[in-house]
Amino acid sequence: MLNNYKSQVSGFLVEAGKRINTTSDFWIGARSYGLPGSWNWTDGTSFDFTDWKIPATVGSFCGAFDIANGFWNPMDCSSKKSYVCKTDETATTATTIKPSKPCPNEWFYFEETNSCYFWADSSDWPTAENTCKSFGAHLMSVHSFAEANFTKTIYNGKFWIGLYSNSNPVDWNSTWQYTDGSPVDYTKWGNHQSHDNSRCVQLRYDMYFENLNCTTINYGICKKPSTKVLPTVTATITSTTQASPYCINDWFYNSNTSSCYTLTPSVNWTQAEEYCLFNHAHLTSFHDRYELNFLYYTFRQATSYSDAWNGLFSTDQGMTWQFTDGSDFNYRPWSQGYPIRNSTYCGVYDLGSNYLQNSRCDYSNYGICKRSAVL
């Protein structure tokens, strides 16, 4: 049955390639954002069928169909290729009623924020912000992963956003703010430079934040409210309503610990802990098999079952261990033969075996951050 389905899909794509006069490969809507197993379709449908010739790896972000062999290949998104679009049959049905546009010409509308977005020419950060102001807008604020992901429909690269700091020097404790005055309620830092002049922030192609010198030349994306009037929704909350636990986008909630967890980029142990600290968290502690199993089932696919930093560290050559969050190390599921007492004084969680190990702190691994949920 699966082979029959594969042949139907491949046959259709080969025919589609002929119609666009290409004899090599062309883009399909498969897209990844840097982590193994994170592929999805750009139209939002379920990614429940794959036909890769080679495994999709980190750094290969877009899918292409190879007419020669009928398989998919993970490719660099900056490559230039032909492409095939897909639309519903009803999408071409003519209508005599045209709804008013919520955004000016050449601006992009995002329904989740009810806002309009525009791609500004490359410039330094102050010039980009002034350009946006001339359109009655600001450099964009980012309030969710979905909003960051939406920008890929405008520009698939790094660009200025409206986040900046007046701190001197800039460090992990600096205060950040948006030029449009909206709250800083979503941050996903990749690199965070501790330099006096790195006060302006770009959104990278992998949707991580990075602060840079404000004189760096970048494209910018402007954002302003749309003209669409949304219906008013009134909600009544009684005194018996229980508050729900809340984790921001890309954080995962564990009801047993009332905590939120997320992955850091692949960095060394110290950088992973700094990343967590900047997000008001620490590298994860764990206190029973239930919590460890939660980490295993939540992050094993995203890390390809590899090691992930946790908050354990030792200052006495592996004799004693402690968590960066100060909690007790009262559950010790060491792998057989661990801990190793030499120069490996940082804790890693082996997502292949679901047990604890220790490793050199200067290796690069994903890290798992943990913080209390907002109740």
Domain boundaries, the chain: 2-83, 108-225, 252-372
User: What is the separation of C-alpha 46 from the centre of its chain, rounded to a whole number of angstroms?
Assistant: 18
Same fold, 2-83 and 252-372: yes
- Write down the CATH superfamily of domain 108-225: Mannose-Binding Protein A, subunit A (3.10.100.10)
The domain over range 2-83 is classified in CATH as 3.10.100.10: yes
State yes or no: cis peptide before 339, omega within 30 of 0.
yes
Residue linked to tokens 């007492």: 341
Report the CATH number of the 252-372 domain. 3.10.100.10
What is the value of pTM for the model shown?
A: 0.42
Residue 87 neighbours by CB distance under 10 Å = 8
Q: What is the DSSP string of 155-208?
A: -SS-EEEEEE---SS--TT---EETT--------EEE----TT--EEEE-TTS-
pLDDT string in tens for the chain (375-residue length) = 334 445 555 666 666 666 666 667 888 888 765 544 567 777 767 777 777 776 655 454 688 888 777 778 887 776 778 887 877 654 444 333 444 578 988 888 888 888 999 988 889 999 999 999 999 999 999 988 888 888 877 887 899 999 998 877 776 667 889 999 999 888 888 755 555 578 899 998 778 888 888 999 999 999 999 988 766 544 343 333 333 356 877 788 888 888 999 998 888 999 999 989 888 899 999 998 888 888 888 888 777 778 999 999 998 888 889 999 999 998 888 888 888 877 678 999 988 888 899 999 999 999 999 999 875
